[in-house]
Structure 1
Amino acid sequence: MPDREIKVPNIGDFKDVEVIEVLVSAGQSISKNDPLITIESDKSSVEIPSTFEGKIKSVNIKIGDKVSEGDLILLLTSNEESKEDIKQKPKTQKEELEIKPVEQKKIEEKVNNHFNEKNNSGISLASPKTRKFARELGVDINQISGSERQGRVLESDIKNFISSKINKISNKRETQVKKITSEFSHSDFGKIEVKDLPRVKKLASTYLVNSWTTIPHVTNHDEADITEMEEFRTSLTDIYTGEKKKITPLAFIIKALVASLKKFPSFNSSIDDIENGKMTVKKYYHIGIAVDTPHGLMVPKIRNADNKNISLIGKDLKEVSELCRNLKINKKELFGGSMTITSLGGIGGSFFTPIINYPEVAILGVGKSYKKQLFINGKFVPRTILPLSLSYDHRIIDGAEAAKFNNDLK
């Protein structure tokens, strides 16, 4: 029985994609199309299936490895014949000689393309995918000189452009601020372990640093009396079965937030073009929800929350949270939000300073509810109180408007 090499198939333009799951082991018998590994790209996670059936002789990769098209996954003992077994006619010397001039011509064209100027309109040529890539990174593609014919811009050109900008900024900072370095390493004081950051946290760190360093954050702390809301929530029952409905308080908070956003549209805006005196007011209500996963914090969106009832919002919350925890969420679902809610209610804590999810201009932090004695109608009564922490961009929202927003929300 011949040994078959199972390799990574064509995965598009992606290279060095991380292996997040190995679903088989040596000695295991598998069938054709059985999943072997799961790889994770910037957009999604994908299972790679087997192209043969048989018994696994050895597995050549492990979790955390970086793979590309053609990399060996495993060796398989199989009775099946593959297409590779069919001998192909070798190329003749004449055919090889005919190919070389064509390849040489392509190389010369590519070199010459580096010196081509932009088209007369001054607008860089690029594919829709490349333009989207530039928009996501906040880069004006018309400022980039493309390396392809007629100045067509590639993703590699965008990366090189950003890298050159970062290097300029880094060199400028180095001349202004001297980096503080420790005289001793951590290992000088005991045993340590150096680990790789989870991929989600590495991606999020760039956005967090950008938000914290470019947005003037101000946080308004307040408390909401949710006694009646909790009584209503815990009293909900199914009209058919009579069983109690379990709906998270977050669903009610989302509905309340949408109502306040309609009254205060500046909270549902973006000012990524503030240098030109422009602000973008959104007419949709997509609420971001911070989801704590083993891989890091992710912020999927509840789309069109203004058109959904409490039950449907609660259902959507469960679905997107599960997709995030399993790394099955579509990358696009992490963008295009109106405002974000981050809740510590299930963990603990009261007030904190949540970081705004750029390019949004505000974020609502929700603490853990607690009982508090309030003086109402001449006597103290126990009430259920919910801590609120509203961080906002002071360039577009002032303190008075933030206080009014919180008052309306609660």
Structure 2
Amino acid sequence: MKVEARELGVDLLQVAGSGPAYRISESDVRRYAEGGAPAAPAGVPVTVPAPTLPDFSKFGPTRREAMSGVRRATVRSMAQAWSTIPMVTHFDQADVSEIEALRKRYGPRAEKKGGKLTMTAILLKVAAAALKAFPKFNASIDTSTNEVVFKDYIHIAVAVDTSTGLLVPVIRDVDKKGVIALAVELGEIAAKARDRKLTPEEMQGASFTISNLGGIGGSGFTPIVNWPEVAIMGVSRSEMRPVWNAEKGTFEPRLIMPFSLTYDHRLIDGADAARFCRFVAEMLEDPFLLGFEG
């Protein structure tokens, strides 16, 4: 497609992609070269062109580096999401002391199956239970018909940090799989993402996204909703904190995990988000509940 674009004199940064995550197809390039309107998914608003940059060389030496295909796709999808969705972020935290102990206890079982029992794998199962309990978070808005599309499947995307940028593969039917099976699948698909071996189909169809930055650090962040989803969960690094035990009258060291939920305020109200996050926290704080809800 790059050869095609050069031959036609098309600047790919000016072409709106109609593919998954707004990737540019050959037909998009040809349509643009022929003077047609740039292709874009239905319901995507026309964005305001970016202003021309000043001449930075007047202030000192500069250099330019071409964006990778992943970064160009990210630019398009993030700009589209930001201009389309009125987003609000709710912050919460969970005491993950008990579930962390279980994670370490059952980690060897996952390793025997070829996976690693990470907190993200556990969060996949917890999020699936929350999406069942709160189906509005597993929906999309159809502005062309003023309808809400509720999905009877639970496919969750997981953000993966790679050397070329952020990739978001999808784990399908999360509600139908056990935690260890999810751990194995998550490890396999994350490896494919880092090796740049994901197929377009493996990055399509998500109804919710989890972005876990706990392995890097930070106490909280506001992730951007991936349109046409309506919510995304952001997870930060857990840390040991003193928590007051009213029954014993003493402080106890507890492992606390901060997390956030960014949501589309057109469909989801603040109280809905707070209840969703409390549900997630309760599942993490009392793993026994997951047997009933998950």
With structure 1 as the length reference, what TM-score do the two structures score?
A: 0.58
- In the other structure, the counterpart of 2:127 is 257
Contact 2:110 2:184 in 1 (8 A): no
Contact 2:241 2:256 in 1 (8 A): yes
- In the other structure, the counterpart of 1:409 is 280
The question of 1:334 aligning with 2:203 is answered: yes
The question of 1:375 aligning with 2:244 is answered: yes
Contact 2:208 2:229 in 1 (8 A): yes
> Out of 188, 194, 205, which is 2:75 matched to?
205
Q: 1:351 Cα deviation (Å)?
A: 1.1
1:104-154: CA deviations, max 9, x gaps?
Answer: xxxxxxxxxxxxxxxxxxxxxxxxxxxxx968599xxxxxxxxxxxxxxx7
CA gap of 1:179–1:156, structure 2 versus 1, over 3 A, is closer
- In the other structure, the counterpart of 2:186 is 317
> Out of 263, 270, 280, which is 2:140 matched to?
270
1:295-316: CA deviations, max 9, x gaps?
Answer: 1111100111111111111111
Whole-Å separation in 1 of the counterparts to 2:78 and 2:56 = 26
Runs of 5+ consecutive residues of structure 2 not aligned to the other structure: 8-16, 282-294
Q: 1:324 Cα deviation (Å)?
A: 1.1
CA gap of 1:299–1:135, structure 2 versus 1, over 3 A, is closer
- In the other structure, the counterpart of 1:366 is 235
Letter in 2 for 1:236: Y
SS in 1 for 2:57: helix
The question of 1:162 aligning with 2:37 is answered: yes
CA gap of 1:333–1:383, structure 2 versus 1, over 3 A, is same
Contact 1:134 1:158 in 2 (8 A): no
RMSD over aligned CA atoms reads: 3.1
- In the other structure, the counterpart of 1:306 is 175
CA gap of 1:331–1:386, structure 2 versus 1, over 3 A, is same
1:236-280: CA deviations, max 9, x gaps?
Answer: 26479999x841111111100000000000000011x22421111
Q: 1:186 Cα deviation (Å)?
A: 2.1
Whole-Å separation in 2 of the counterparts to 1:399 and 1:373 = 29
SS in 2 for 1:391: strand
Q: 1:155 Cα deviation (Å)?
A: 5.6
> Out of 78, 90, 98, which is 1:220 matched to?
90
Whole-Å separation in 2 of the counterparts to 1:389 and 1:137 = 23
Q: What percentage of aligned pairs have identical amino acids?
A: 37
Q: 1:222 Cα deviation (Å)?
A: 0.4
The question of 1:248 aligning with 2:128 is answered: no
CA gap of 1:192–1:392, structure 2 versus 1, over 3 A, is same
1:284-330: CA deviations, max 9, x gaps?
Answer: 11110001111111110011111111111111111111111111101
Whole-Å separation in 2 of the counterparts to 1:158 and 1:189 = 39
Letter in 1 for 2:3: D
Letter in 2 for 1:300: P
CA gap of 1:203–1:17, structure 2 versus 1, over 3 A, is farther
CA gap of 1:338–1:169, structure 2 versus 1, over 3 A, is closer
Structure in which a larger fraction of residues adopt helix: 2
Whole-Å separation in 2 of the counterparts to 1:368 and 1:346 = 6
- In the other structure, the counterpart of 1:100 is none
Letter in 2 for 1:379: T
Letter in 1 for 2:174: A
Whole-Å separation in 1 of the counterparts to 2:110 and 2:190 = 27
Letter in 1 for 2:269: D
Is the radius of gyration larger for structure 1 or structure 2?
A: 1
CA gap of 1:164–1:367, structure 2 versus 1, over 3 A, is closer
Whole-Å separation in 2 of the counterparts to 1:241 and 1:338 = 28
Whole-Å separation in 2 of the counterparts to 1:331 and 1:318 = 18
> Out of 332, 355, 360, which is 2:224 matched to?
355
Whole-Å separation in 1 of the counterparts to 2:210 and 2:103 = 19
The question of 1:233 aligning with 2:108 is answered: no
Letter in 2 for 1:163: P
Q: Pairwise mapping of residues 3-14 of structure 1 onto structure 2 (< 5 A)?
A: 14=1
CA gap of 1:361–1:351, structure 2 versus 1, over 3 A, is same
CA gap of 1:194–1:408, structure 2 versus 1, over 3 A, is same
SS in 2 for 1:336: coil
CA gap of 1:280–1:157, structure 2 versus 1, over 3 A, is farther
Whole-Å separation in 1 of the counterparts to 2:192 and 2:63 = 31
SS in 2 for 1:236: helix
Q: 1:190 Cα deviation (Å)?
A: 2.7
1:194-232: CA deviations, max 9, x gaps?
Answer: 101121010121110010111000000000110000011
- In the other structure, the counterpart of 2:163 is 294
